Amino acid sequence: KRIAVFVSGGGSNYKAIQAAIDAGKVNGEVVAVISDKPGCKATEFASEKGVHVSAYPKSAKFAPEGLSAEDLVQLLREKKVDIVLLAGFLKLLPAELVKAFPQAILNIHPALLPAFGGKGFYGLRVHSAVIKSGAWFSGPTVHFIDENYDAGVIVAQRIVRVLPTDTPEELQARVLKEEHYLYPIVVSALCDGRIRWRDDGVPILEDYM
Ligand code: GRF
């Protein structure tokens, strides 16, 4: 399958997916990277790999001088993209784009949704909130996206114990490790059509329970 990755920062999840592709564990190819932060580590990695990087529209409202939502959809169509992966991408996707790729856009979030998600829950803030709550468990969630932040049906999660002594940085590092394990597994299943849709619209990973 042909994959587009949306990034804003470190790009470690993008790298984990690329590594899984290189190792033959994911039947896909990253054909486009879209970034709202040109020059970030993730876009540098894309350039090193020879993948074309496009700048995401600056204005949340898709200002006429920038790439419009339609342009963005057009770009993905031209590149014959099948699957869109958000990997540390901090902006909301326009509704047009979400509609254009039904059951084909995934996001990874560093906490157990539906808790600790939504606007404002990103980066270390997520882990601080988890620690502050006293929750014993955290871990990454991979979910299909809809038009809201961190919403949309959950495909897979992993559990990380929150230790009483954890700093947000320590918890973040342990969760991130599990993200790098989990995201390629789900992407592989999506590429191979191994995700089954239950009647109520919940996706089931056939071989990862
Ligand atoms: C990850 O924690 C991911 O769950 C969240 O943003 C972070 C991105 O990290 N959505 P990276 O850019 O993949 O290193």
All domains in the chain, ordered by first residue: 2-124+139-156+176-205 (3.40.50.170)
Q: Name which residue sits closest to atom 9 of ligand 1, judged by CA.
A: 88
In order, the DSSP letters of 149-177 are TT-S-EEEE--EEPPTT--HHHHHHHHHH
Distance between CA atoms of residues 125 and 184, nearest Å: 25
Q: Tens of pLDDT along 13-22?
A: 999 999 999 9
Q: Is the shortest distance between the CB of 10 and ligand 1 below 6 Å? A: yes
Distance between CA atoms of residues 35 and 88, nearest Å: 10
Distance between CA atoms of residues 113 and 143, nearest Å: 9
Q: Is the shortest distance between the CB of 152 and ligand 1 below 6 Å? A: no
Q: Tens of pLDDT along 51-71?
A: 989 888 765 554 444 567 888
**Residue listed under structure tokens 């059509």:** 193
Distance between CA atoms of residues 79 and 192, nearest Å: 19
92 DSSP assignment: P
Give whichever of 7-11, 37-41, 51-55, 176-180 has the largest mean pLDDT: 176-180
Look at 64-68, 69-73, 113-117, 189-193 and tell me which has the smallest mean pLDDT.
64-68
Q: Is the shortest distance between the CB of 179 and ligand 1 below 6 Å? A: yes
Q: Tens of pLDDT along 129-163?
A: 999 999 999 999 999 998 888 889 999 999 999 99
Q: Is the shortest distance between the CB of 88 and ligand 1 below 6 Å? A: yes
**pLDDT-based confidence at 201, cuts 50/70/90?**
very high
Residues 28, 103 contacting (CB under 8 angstroms): no
Site to substitute for ligand 1 among 176, 177, 183, 186, most atoms within 8 A of C-beta = 176
Q: Which two tokens stand for residue 149?
A: 């932040």
Residues labelled as active-site residues: 109
Q: How far apart are the first and last CA of the chain?
A: 23
Q: Is the shortest distance between the CB of 109 and ligand 1 below 6 Å? A: yes
ipTM of the complex in this document:
0.97
pLDDT above 70 (res 206): yes
**How many angstroms is it from 199 CA to the middle of ligand 1?**
31
User: How many Cα atoms within 13 Å fall on the side-chain side of residue 35?
Assistant: 21
In 10 A of CB 19, how many CB atoms? 13
